[in-house]
């Protein structure tokens, strides 16, 4: 059976690439600390020696649109181009090309549908910064095949938080049951409190530091009961109008396993959002 | 109210560099052209199979034509689409990083949750 080499959850700040590559007067004052934290976080994936990356993210109205909006989608393609014109324009993100792992995609689609998730699929998917940003931070070589999984945290009506948790648990179970000798890292990115296109956007901190404090505690201890007791589709509007991305963190907490403490926890209080980084090693600390 | 069509305008302009400039320089003309020629095009099927029923209300048409993002927010446009396109349109006119984004926030400061419903 396949080995889950690491489970990783983080925020996906699209400005990291530009901040980390800028020099001189263009380099923001927080860049060096941010790069140091990212390099430390990256090491947690590197030492897990993964062969394949399952990448959980959410399209931000790039390829997926309101005329045909899936709730949960798995890519199944030999390659995925990455990033879009408007992400180059706003964030300075580079064009990327990732290899896909069609065998694992096919397996997850078939087994996931059979497990009760009517998953959408895509044979030609261009991935956006929700997946390219963690590749840039965690695996900038972009040399491993990926399986992209998209969730809808963006265009209401959304699935319930509980459904994200159930999908995460299912992904964990299915990857562990995959008849393969490959080492699979499961990586997902979401948001803590976040406001975009609203009155609380781009403040000196995230829009709701108290939510962020609780959220980091929930994630670090994979406290799904605690999170599910307080979080609903309605309540997530309160910390910020883009905070439904926290449901991708809830999905990843379920991948890690309920009440399993993360082996690595870090955060960075950045302008307009709290950045947070978590790694679990399901088989104990990595070699 | 046609929130879907407002979002479709923001989405199709935001992903097209030429349309971003056209909308910046001639908002009223671009909205008029877009409603006549593009509003009913279903994006992933041939143009001849277009829809026949999509139009803006007068208030929506005017808000788009005036670059009035406060009214567009209040009409229930998707917050991400609205922000992303308006950054592309106007960030360049401000000297300080994030100055436009902060002005955008300040002009919406009379709003507290719940915000206008963005569901389509």
Domain boundaries, chain B: 3-107
Token pair, residue A229, equals: 């007791």
Q: Which helix (H) or strand (E) holds A10?
A: strand A3-11
Write the CATH number of the domain with boundaries A3-280.
3.40.830.10
Contact B44 A67 (CB under 8 A): yes
Shortest alpha-carbon distance between residue B49 and chain A (Å): 14
Check: CB of residue B102 under 8 Å from CB of residue B32: no
CA angle A73, A74, A77 (to 5 degrees): 135
Determine, for residues B120 and A68 on separate chains, whether the beta-carbon distance falls below 8 Å.
no
Q: Which residue has the tokens 């609380």?
A: A200
| pLDDT over threshold 80, residue A285 | no
Say if residues B98 and A202 touch (Cβ distance below 8 Å): yes
CA distance A188 to A180: 22
DSSP-derived 3-state class of residue A1:
coil
Phi first, then psi, for residue A139 (nearest 5°) are -150, 65
pLDDT of residue A236: 98
Whether omega before B114 lies within 30 degrees of 0, making that bond cis, reads yes
DSSP letter (8 states) at residue A204: S
Phi, psi of A224 (to 5 degrees): -65, -35
Pick from A85, A203, A242: CB nearest B15 = A85
pLDDT of A287 > 60? The answer is: no
HSE, CB side, 13 Å, CA atoms: give it for residue B49.
5
Residues in CB range of A19: below 8 A, 6 or more apart = A27, A28, A30, A31, A34, A35
Query: Does residue A220 contact residue A134 with C-beta atoms inside 8 Å?
Result: no
Asked if A233 and A162 count as a contact pair (C-beta separation under 8 A), the reply is no
Q: Tell me the nearest-neighbour CA distance from A156 into chain B, angstroms.
A: 5
Residue to substitute from B87, B97, B113, interface A, most A β-carbons within 10 A: B113
- Chain B closest CA to A15's CA: distance in Å? 12
**Both tokens assigned to A145:** 């095949």
Q: What is the C-alpha to C-alpha distance for residues A94 and A103, in angstroms, rounded to an integer?
A: 28
Across the interface, whether the CB atoms of A199 and B119 are under 8 A apart is answered: no
ipTM of the complex model: 0.96
- How many whole angstroms separate alpha carbon A249 and alpha carbon A255? 10
**Token reading at A132:** 């390219």
- Average pLDDT on A140-161 reads 98
Distance separating alpha carbons of residues A185 and A214, to the nearest angstrom: 26
What confidence tens digit (pLDDT) does each residue in B73-106 have?
A: 999 999 999 999 999 999 999 999 899 999 999 9
Using a cut of 0.80, tell me whether the model's pTM lies above it.
Answer: yes
**Angle ∠(A253,A256,A259) on CA atoms, nearest 5:** 70
Tell me: pLDDT of B55 over 70.
yes
Interface of A with B (CB under 8 A): 60-62, 65-68, 84-86, 89-90, 154-157, 196-203, 237-238, 241-242, 271-272
CA neighbor of B87 nearest in space, from B17, B19, B30, B14: B14
- Which CA distances in Å does A282 have to A5, A51, A162? 7, 16, 22
- Whether residues A155 and B78 touch (CB distance < 8 A) is answered with yes
Query: What are the pLDDT digits (tens) for A84-143?
Result: 999 999 999 999 999 999 999 999 999 999 999 999 999 999 999 999 999 999 999 999
Residue B120: list chain A partners with CB under 8 A.
66, 155-156
Residue A223 has pLDDT above 70, yes or no: yes
| Location of structure tokens 């090309």 | A97
């Amino acid at each position: 059976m396949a080995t889950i080499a690491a489970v990783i959850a983080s925020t996906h700040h699209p400005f990291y690439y530009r901040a980390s590559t800028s020099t001189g007067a263009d380099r923001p004052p927080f860049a060096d600390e941010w790069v140091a934290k990212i390099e430390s976080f990256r090491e947690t994936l590197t030492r897990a020696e993964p062969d394949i990356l399952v990448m959980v993210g959410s399209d931000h109205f790039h390829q997926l649109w309101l005329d045909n909006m899936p709730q949960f989608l798995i890519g199944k393609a030999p390659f995925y181009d990455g990033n879009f014109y408007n992400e180059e324009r706003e964030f300075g993100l580079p064009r990327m090309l990732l290899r896909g792992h069609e065998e694992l995609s096919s397996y997850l689609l078939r087994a996931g549908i059979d497990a009760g998730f009517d998953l959408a699929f895509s044979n030609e998917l261009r991935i956006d910064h929700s997946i390219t940003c963690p590749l840039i931070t965690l695996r900038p070589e972009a040399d491993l095949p990926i399986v992209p999984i998209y969730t809808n945290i963006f265009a209401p009506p959304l699935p319930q938080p509980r459904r994200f948790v159930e999908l995460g648990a299912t992904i964990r179970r299915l990857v562990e049951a995959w008849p393969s000798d490959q080492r699979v890292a499961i990586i997902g990115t979401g948001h803590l409190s976040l406001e975009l296109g609203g009155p609380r956007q781009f403040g000196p901190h995230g829009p709701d530091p108290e939510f962020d404090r609780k959220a980091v505690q929930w994630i670090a201890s994979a406290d799904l009961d605690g999170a599910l007791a307080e979080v609903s589709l309605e309540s997530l509007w309160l910390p910020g109008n883009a905070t439904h991305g926290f449901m991708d963190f809830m999905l990843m907490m379920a991948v890690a396993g309920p009440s399993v403490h993360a082996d690595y926890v870090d955060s960075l209080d950045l302008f307009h959002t709290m950045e947070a980084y978590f790694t679990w090693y399901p088989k104990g600390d990595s070699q | 109210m046609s929130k879907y069509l407002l979002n479709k305008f923001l989405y199709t302009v935001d992903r097209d560099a030429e349309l971003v400039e056209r909308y910046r320089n001639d908002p009223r003309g671009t909205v008029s052209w877009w409603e006549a020629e593009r509003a009913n095009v279903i994006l992933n099927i041939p143009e001849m199979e277009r829809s026949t029923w999509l139009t803006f209300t007068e208030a929506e048409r005017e808000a788009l034509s005036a670059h009035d993002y406060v009214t567009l927010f209040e009409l229930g446009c998707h917050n991400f689409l609205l922000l992303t396109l308006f950054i592309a349109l106007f960030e360049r006119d401000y000297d300080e990083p994030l100055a436009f984004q902060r002005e955008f926030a300040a002009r919406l400061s009379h709003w507290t949750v719940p915000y206008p419903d963005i569901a389509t």
